Amino acid sequence: MSKLEITEDTKVSEILDEYGDIADVMEALGMKRVGGLSFRRVITKAITVKRAAKIHRVPVDDLLDKLNTAVDQIEGENLKSES
């Protein structure tokens, strides 16, 4: 799996498809969990990281930092399990 480059224009659904449920990361920034993972996959098809940040009144740079940190951790864990 190659690392997804997350920018403000990345669709939240792309992150969910690549890395699974990231609700815990978003909750850490005060964003409320919306439904279950399958519901989130549907409603996030058209929502970008920038739009999600605006909806939840979270600075987009803070959200990007948290998401990229979480992705780095996931990638690191995946590399360890492959070794």
pLDDT tens profile 21-71: 676 666 665 666 555 656 666 666 778 999 988 888 889 998 899 888 888
Per-domain residue ranges of the chain: 12-82
pLDDT at 9 over 80: yes
Q: Per this entry, what is the length of the chain? A: 83
Smallest CA-to-CA distance from 73 within 34, 25, 14, 17 is with 25
Strand-pairing partners, residue 48, are 11
pTM of the entire structure?
Answer: 0.71
Distant-in-sequence, close-in-space partners of 82: CB < 8 Å, separation ≥ 6:
none
String of DSSP letters for 66-81: HHHHHHHHHHHHHHHH
* pLDDT at residue 25, as a whole number: 67
* pLDDT at residue 15, as a whole number: 83
